C-alpha cells in the first residue's frame, strides 16, 4: 500500500517533469548564463491550539546557480514533531529545481523527495509550473505531497498527494480573478475535492495596497478515514482581506490581514469566525545572497478536531552563492 502510493505519485509526475525539462532546456540554450554553486539553509517552526509543534530544518547544496530564481540542488531534511511529552523525528531527502522569469515568475519551482516516518516511506514536495499565455492570463499546474500532521496521523504514517490547476485572469485594469480546482488523495483511502477562488482589486497601486475576497472549500469522500485528523463532509471559508506589497530599506515585503467565516458541515452545520494574517519579506545581502522571512497566523479549521483551532508558523531561509 505504501510503495503503491509512492510509485503512483512518481509515475504521475514523470511525464510532467519530462515536459518541463524540455521547456527549461530550450530556454537555457537561448541565452548564455554564468553559473556557479551555492548553499541553501532554512528552518520553520509551527505550532497550534493543540500544542502540536514541528521544527523543520533543511540544508541543500545548489548547482547551476545563476540567481535565487534559477538553480538546482539536493537537500537533506529533518523534522521533529512534539506534543505533550510525545515526539517523533522524520528524516528525508529532496531534489530542488527552480527556473522562473524574474518579471512574471513563469517557469518551474519544484521540490520533490521522500521522507520516512512510522516505518513508511512517503513522497513529499511541492511543484508549481507557471505559464503566461497572454499578458493578462496566467495558468499554474500544481502538485504537492506531504504528511498529515497530527500526533495520531504521524504515528500511522498517513500522507497525502495534491494535484490541481489554477487560472488567473485580469478582468479590468485593477481587477484580477484567480480560480483553482484540485484533488487530494490520502494514504488511508480518503479523498477530497477542492475549489478555491480569489478576487483582487488594486485599490492603491502606487502604494502597493489591494483588497481581496477569498473563498475556499472542499468536499470529503470520508473513505477509510481512521479519525486521525479533522475531516468533515464539507468545509467552506470566505475572507475579506487587505493586502500589501512594499519596499523599504532594501526589503521587499508582501502580506495581508483578513477576517471572515467558516462553515463546517458534517452531522450538522457549524459556523465560526475565521482570521488570517500573513507576511513574507526578502532582502539581498552581501551581494548575491538572499535572506527571506515568513510568518503566518490563522484561526480556522486545519487537520485538528479542536473547536477553536488556530495555527501559527515562522520561517527563515538563506541562499548563498559561491563565487
Q: Which three cell numbers stand for residue 82?
A: 512534539
Euclidean distance between CA atoms 153 and 308, whole angstroms: 20
pLDDT of 321:
92
Give just the sign of the alpha carbon dihedral 199, 303, 97, 287. positive
Q: What is the pLDDT of residues 2-49, one digit of tens each?
A: 444 444 444 544 444 444 444 444 444 434 457 799 999 999 999 999
Q: What is the pLDDT of residues 270-298, one digit of tens each?
A: 898 999 999 999 999 877 789 999 999 99
Q: What is the pLDDT of residues 80-92, one digit of tens each?
A: 999 999 999 999 9
Q: 227 falls in which pLDDT band (50, 70, 90)?
A: confident
Using left for φ > 0, alpha for ψ between -120 and 50, and beta otherwise, residue 198 falls in beta
- pLDDT value at 1 more than 60: no
Count CB atoms within 10 A of the CB of residue 34.
Answer: 6
pLDDT of 254:
97
- Whose CA is closest to 124, among 6, 11, 20? 6
SS3 assignment, position 25: helix
Give just the sign of the alpha carbon dihedral 111, 179, 205, 244. negative
- Any idea which residue has 545581502 for its cell? 285
SS3 assignment, position 290: strand
Q: How far is CA 136 from the centre of its chain?
A: 24
Euclidean distance between CA atoms 36 and 289, whole angstroms: 13
Non-local (6+) Cβ contacts of 322 within 8 A are 36, 37, 38, 39
> Taking a C-beta distance cutoff of 8 angstroms, is the pair 46, 311 a contact?
yes
- Any idea which residue has 510568518 for its cell? 295
> Taking a C-beta distance cutoff of 8 angstroms, is the pair 145, 160 a contact?
yes
pTM: 0.84
Summary mean pLDDT of the chain: 88
- pLDDT value at 299 more than 50: yes
SS3 assignment, position 28: helix
Q: What is the pLDDT of residues 161-197, one digit of tens each?
A: 999 999 999 999 999 999 999 999 999 999 999 999 9
Q: Which residues pair with 39 in a beta bridge?
A: 61, 320
pLDDT of 90:
94
Task: Report the relative pairing of strands 191-204 and 251-265 from DSSP bridges.
Answer: unpaired
pLDDT of 285:
87
3-state helix, strand, coil in the chain (%, to 5): 10, 65, 20
- Any idea which residue has 530550450 for its cell? 26
Q: Which three cell numbers stand for residue 31?
A: 541565452
- Whose CA is closest to 278, among 300, 261, 263? 300
Q: Which three cell numbers stand for residue 267?
A: 452531522
Amino acid at each position: 500500500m505504501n510503495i503503491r502510493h509512492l510509485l503512483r505519485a512518481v509515475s504521475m509526475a514523470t511525464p510532467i517533469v519530462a515536459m518541463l525539462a524540455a521547456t527549461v532546456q530550450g530556454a537555457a540554450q537561448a541565452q548564455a548564463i554564468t553559473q556557479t554553486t551555492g548553499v541553501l539553509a532554512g528552518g520553520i517552526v509551527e505550532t497550534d491550539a493543540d500544542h502540536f509543534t514541528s521544527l523543520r530544518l533543511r540544508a541543500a547544496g545548489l548547482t547551476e546557480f545563476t540567481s535565487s530564481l534559477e538553480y538546482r540542488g539536493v537537500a537533506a531534511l529533518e523534522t521533529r514533531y512534539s506534543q505533550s511529552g510525545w515526539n517523533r523525528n522524520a528524516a528525508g531527502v529532496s531534489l530542488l529545481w527552480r527556473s522562473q522569469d524574474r518579471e512574471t515568475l513563469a517557469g518551474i519551482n519544484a521540490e520533490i523527495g521522500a521522507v520516512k516516518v512510522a516505518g513508511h516511506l512517503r513522497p513529499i514536495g511541492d511543484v508549481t509550473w507557471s505559464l503566461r499565455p497572454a499578458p493578462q492570463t496566467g495558468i499554474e499546474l500544481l502538485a504537492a505531497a506531504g504528511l498529515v500532521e497530527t500526533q495520531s496521523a504521524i504515528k500511522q504514517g498517513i500522507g497525502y498527494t495534491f494535484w490541481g490547476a489554477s487560472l488567473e485572469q485580469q478582468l479590468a485594469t485593477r481587477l484580477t480573478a484567480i480560480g483553482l480546482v484540485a484533488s487530494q488523495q490520502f494514504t488511508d483511502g480518503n479523498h477530497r475535492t477542492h475549489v478555491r477562488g480569489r478576487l483582487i482589486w488594486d485599490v492603491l497601486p502606487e502604494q502597493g495596497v489591494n483588497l481581496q475576497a477569498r473563498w475556499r472549500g472542499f468536499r470529503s469522500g470520508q473513505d477509510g478515514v481512521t479519525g486521525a485528523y479533522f475531516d468533515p463532509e464539507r468545509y467552506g471559508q470566505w475572507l475579506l482581506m487587505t493586502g500589501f506589497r512594499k519596499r523599504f530599506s532594501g526589503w521587499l515585503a508582501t502580506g495581508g490581514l483578513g477576517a471572515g467565516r467558516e462553515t463546517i458541515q458534517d452531522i450538522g452545520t457549524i459556523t465560526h469566525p475565521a482570521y488570517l494574517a500573513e507576511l513574507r519579506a526578502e532582502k539581498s545581502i552581501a551581494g548575491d545572497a538572499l535572506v527571506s522571512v515568513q510568518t503566518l497566523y490563522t484561526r480556522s479549521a486545519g487537520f485538528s478536531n479542536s473547536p477553536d483551532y488556530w495555527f501559527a508558523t515562522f520561517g527563515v531561509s538563506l541562499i548563498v552563492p559561491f563565487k
